[in-house]
Structure 1
Amino acid sequence: MDHLYVVAILFSVLTLSLSSIFCYLKSFLKKSPHLPPGPRGLPILGYLPFLGKNFLQTFTDLGHKYGPIFKIYLGNKLCVVISSPSLVKEVVRNKDAIFATRDTTVAALVSFYGGKDIIFSNPNSHWVLMRKIFIQEMMSQTSLDLEASNALRKDVVRKAVRFVQANMGKPIQIDHLTFQTSLHLVTNMMWGGIVEGELGAKIEAEFFVLVSKILDLLGKPKVSDLFPVLARFDMQGIKRQMEGYMQSADTIFEAVIA
């Protein structure tokens, strides 16, 4: 029985390896004259072994070598890197409708309920409706100028300023302070005046820790995103962890709604 189990595992690994090699060779040998230049990398792994610890420096060096736009294979994923302000403007503003559709990561699919939010949703009628509601109900000048909303924002900023004053002469983590201030602002505007006192502080503290974990998991390199054929195995436990975080988030939201 153990022998059959080992054989099954070896066969599965061999099958996955051959599939990855076939996919890589197919994409590598396919004639595509419209792709920009770039480093070749290795079969299956692409340029992953050569990225090093400082990704920004690596991409900067590649930009100096290949120009402001170049291609790079990360695992089985073909990526195109741009480093010119004019090209960035062309992509994110002039041709934004063309480049709006993106690959959604495993973590994003779980954390945004199948990628149906305003960030990862495809630019369809559903996305247009979400964007319209977001702008009219949350980001409009009328909503931002409301007295209650204005008071909440001022209160959060005052707390941040007082924190800096109280810690003069000591090192302050600006990134943490900025993130904490922004999150406090969002949570205050979401349930300010409804959940107050110790309960409000407890919920806000739990939400802050939870969002930190979710953002950390969203930014974590994922094998399944670079090798989609391995996504079903959840080798790093990304999907399982994110599902647990989202259950905790739903619990917090349900408590506030109740």
Structure 2
Amino acid sequence: MWRLISWLIPPISASFDPRKSVPVLLCLAFGIGLLILCGRKSSLKELAPLPPGPRGVPVVGFLPCLNRNLHEYFMELARVHGPIYKLWIGTKLYVVISSPLLAKEVVCNHDTTFANRGPNTASRVFSYGGKDIAFAPYGPEWNALRKMFIRKMQSPSNLNVLYVHRMRELAKSVEEIKGKVGKPIEIGELAFWTVINMISRMFWGGTLDEHRGVRIGDEFQDAVMRLTTILGKPNVSDFFPRLARFDVQGIERDMKEAVSWIGEIFDFAVNGRAASTQNGGGRSDFMQFLLNYED
């Protein structure tokens, strides 16, 4: 296309006449526009054919038509368009699969092809730019993270060593229930703290209530609940990336606040462990492994 334009420009400029400039320029603009359209059509033809899908609204795509119960709505679309169909939501193209055979192709037979996950705005902030094991791109760094996590955190030998910590927290929860016979119990809160204390003991050998000498558990629970809510909240910037810089709904701002507060707790635990290690109080939990790995 550009060769043709460069071939046309010299004759036009040589015979340029101000009285005839407007028609010539109009013809030139029309020709360039026609060539661009033809080029776009040819480039689209070179791409793999897309599966069928519902027609959406210009600019916003199928976004206004989505139902709250997405799993049920997607199944209704699958009955109309087949087990694999495309869906434009905003300016992003999504492909939905709804059959066990296709799911096996994606997650088993071609898992490395579909391994990368594009984090949304909230997940990107939460994972410090997509650097954690959930959102990091597939490659050598992701493989190193996975091996480190599986071998040092979830290996059978390590889980057996830390079994006593899990049983200790479970026993504490059982004793707390026994002490409230005849009284109402908030099962959700009790289960939340049982799991959190198990994980924290496995990670650095202590619980959140034992840090700073004050009870910060309630604030931490609020921050975690807030973080979970933000992660599941629809964000217009995820469907229209050009609006991300404006943070229309304040998702990025709210997530940064939640992550910052939780990060302070983890920083306190890491700094305390680093200080105790320097004084000869080294341990063999996962945090100590990470500190040794950093060195």
TM-score category, normalised to shorter length:
0.7 to 0.9
Indicate the residue corresponding to 1:123 in structure 2: 138
Aligned partner of 1:220 among 225, 230, 233: 233
Aligned residue in 2 for 1:85: 100
1:189 is matched with: 202
Please state how far the C-alpha of 1:203 moved relative to its aligned partner: 3.7
1:143 matched to which residue of 2? Answer: 158
1:240 pairs with 2:232: no
Corresponding position: 1:94 with 2:109: yes
- Shift of the alpha carbon at 1:50? 1.2
Pair 1:106 & 2:99 matched: no
Alpha-carbon offset, residue 186 of structure 1: 1.5
Aligned-pair Cα RMSD in Å: 3.0
Per the alignment, in what secondary structure is the counterpart of residue 85 of structure 2?
strand
> Following TM superposition, by how much is the alpha carbon of 1:162 offset from its aligned partner in structure 2, in angstroms?
6.4
Superposed counterparts of 1:1-258, under 5 Å: 30-31=44-45, 32-146=47-161, 149-158=162-171, 180-193=193-206, 197=210, 202-257=215-270, 258=272
Cα gap change, 1:201/1:184 in structure 2, threshold over 3 Å: closer, same or farther?
Answer: farther
Cα deviations by residue, 1:97-129 (Å, 9 ceiling, x for unpaired): 000112221111111111111111111111111
Distance 1:77 1:90 in 2: 23
Tell whether the 8 Å contact from 1:203 to 1:252 is kept in structure 2 after alignment.
Answer: no
Q: Structure 1 unaligned segments of length 5 or more: list them.
A: 1-25
Is the alpha carbon distance of 1:194 and 1:212 closer, same or farther for their aligned partners in structure 2, counting shifts above 3 Å?
closer
SS in 2 for 1:98: coil
String of CA shifts for 1:189-211, please: whole Å, max 9, x gaps: 22334766585772444333222
CA shift for structure 1 position 156: 3.5
Residues 145 and 104 of structure 1: CA distance in aligned 2, closer, same or farther (over 3 Å): same
Any idea what the Cα deviations from partners look like across 1:163-190, whole Å, max 9, x if unmatched? 778689989777x766554333222322
* CA distance in structure 2 between the aligned counterparts of 1:178 and 1:49, rounded to whole angstroms: 38
5+ residue gaps, structure 2: 1-39, 273-295
TM-score (norm 2): 0.68
Separation of aligned partners in 1, 2:169 and 2:218 = 15
Structure of larger gyration radius? 2
- Alignment length, in residue pairs? 229
Higher RCO structure, 1 or 2 (CA under 8 Å, sep 6+) = 1
Deviations 1:111-166 (A, max 9, x none): 111111111111111111111110111010110010xx102222334455667786
- Give the deviation of 1:39 after TM superposition: 0.4
Instruction: For 1:130 and 1:256, locate their aligned partners in 2 and report how far apart those are by CA, in whole Å.
Output: 21
Say if 1:75 and 1:162 are closer, same or farther in 2 by CA, change over 3 A.
farther
- C-alpha contact 1:75 1:226 (8 A) present in aligned 2: yes
Query: What percent identity do the matched residue pairs reach?
Result: 40
